[in-house]
DNA sequence: TATTGTTATACTCTATAACTATA
DNA sequence: TATAGTTATAGAGTATAACAATA
């Protein structure tokens, strides 16, 4: 009964069993960053996916939208409306190559828009680097790259369970 | 003309200007992990958000769904159908506290389901730790936590732009 | 047979506004 | 006035299936 439930915050003490979960923390961090970057890019009429498409076309002029989709992990079916939107905005030009393939290039306006997007992305990344520290950025990128790889052989022999343990319950 | 476009892969050489972008790499890593975990949890009829809700209720019995929503960054409006679904599955019980607040608790079946979910989450996290290395996990969690904080004062005075620089174009 | 591009569709997640009942 | 919970709705993002045209 002597709980102290109504003193400081919401309830007596909030327990967060998610602080040590890599998957969850990664998801929250990603959502936060994409929200911030999305708000910034929204000011120039671009969504994050559209900005990355412009970056890829600029770096690989003449590529197909299937190439871009593969690089970004976006299904071909979902690339169609994305590229159509960029063409409707006059940012991307398309020329037949194959009869079935179309070569993508940035228009002059597309290059101008991309320059603006680059500035916003650079500002965002600079903010992240300020939080992470100079070496933190490289360490984080390295760890994310390691995550992408399958575990090294033999590493699964000692399963290190680290999920919040069941707390004592029912007395 | 001597391009070599049709030799090895798709085109001559694919350039990826996104490899150094923390925001993008974090987003891709998060999507990959959530896809894997979602597939695993799907086998026991739970989505990642539902599993985290069960974890939070178990760690904070008697909490309100507003508490859970705040902790998970889920809007109240979106918590309603989530909790309703968990109650319909018989995993969560609810008792009025306030007249406007309801105390959430896991049912016996909810605890059983959570135990299964915990095992799947632990296996997933163990796989990640195998990729990251023993210390890698802690370093990654530390960096993600640093990311959450606003940049330290005075760190933004030297904006380190590191977005893929415009490559030579038009010849 | 495999690939490009397209359409249609559905499902999840998220965001907003509006409403009620209560503190 | 602020909070808890609900409903409705709209917008992204993503996933699958199917199709036509081409390689």
What is the 3-state secondary structure of B97-135? CCCCCEEEEECHHHHHHHHHHHHHHHHHHHHHHHHHCHH
For residue A157, what pLDDT is reported?
52
Chain position carrying tokens 């904080």: B149
**Protein residue closest to D21, using CA and C1':** A100
Question: Of residues A6 and A115, which shows the higher confidence score?
Answer: A115
Q: How far apart are CA B5 and CA B157, in angstroms?
A: 44
**A56 in B contact zone (CB under 8 Å):** yes
Picking from B131, B27, B56, the residue whose alpha carbon sits closest to that of residue A28 is: B27
**B108 in A contact zone (CB under 8 Å):** no
- Nucleotide whose C1' lies closest to the alpha carbon of residue A87: C5
Q: Helices A108-132 and B134-148 sit at what angle, rounded to 10 degrees?
A: 110
For residue A140, what pLDDT is reported?
98
Taking the whole predicted model, whether its pTM rises above 0.85 is answered as yes
Residues in reach of strand D, judged by a CB distance below 7 angstroms, are A 38, 47-49, 73-75, 77-78, 98-100; B 31, 35, 64-67, 76-81, 83-84, 98, 100-102
Q: Which residues of chain B are within 8 Å of residue A67 when distances are taken between CB atoms?
A: 10-11, 14
**B129 in A contact zone (CB under 8 Å):** yes
- The tens place of each residue's pLDDT in chain B, 171 residues long, gives 444 444 334 446 999 999 999 999 999 999 999 999 999 999 999 999 999 999 999 999 999 999 999 999 999 999 999 999 999 999 999 999 999 999 999 999 999 999 999 999 999 999 999 999 989 999 999 999 999 987 777 665 554 444 554 544 333
Asked whether residue A78 carries a pLDDT value surpassing 50, the answer given is yes
Q: How far apart are CA A84 and CA B50, in angstroms?
A: 36
A 57-86 → B contacts, CB under 8 A: 58-63, 67, 70-71, 73
């Amino acid at each position: 009964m002597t709980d102290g439930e109504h003193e400081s915050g919401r309830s007596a003490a909030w327990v967060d069993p998610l602080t040590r979960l890599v998957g969850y923390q990664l998801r929250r961090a990603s959502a936060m960053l994409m929200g911030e970057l999305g708000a910034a890019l929204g000011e120039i009429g671009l969504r994050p996916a559209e900005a990355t498409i412009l970056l890829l076309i600029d770096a690989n002029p003449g590529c197909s939208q299937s190439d871009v989709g593969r690089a970004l992990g976006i299904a071909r079916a979902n690339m169609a409306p994305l590229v159509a939107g960029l063409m409707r905005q006059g940012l991307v030009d398309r020329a037949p190559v194959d009869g079935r393939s179309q070569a993508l290039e940035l228009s002059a306006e597309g290059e101008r828009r991309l320059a603006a997007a680059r500035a916003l992305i650079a500002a965002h990344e600079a903010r992240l680097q300020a939080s992470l520290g100079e070496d933190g950025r490289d360490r984080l990128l390295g760890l994310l790259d390691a995550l992408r790889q399958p575990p090294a052989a033999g590493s699964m022999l000692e399963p290190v369970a680290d999920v919040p343990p069941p707390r004592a319950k029912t007395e």
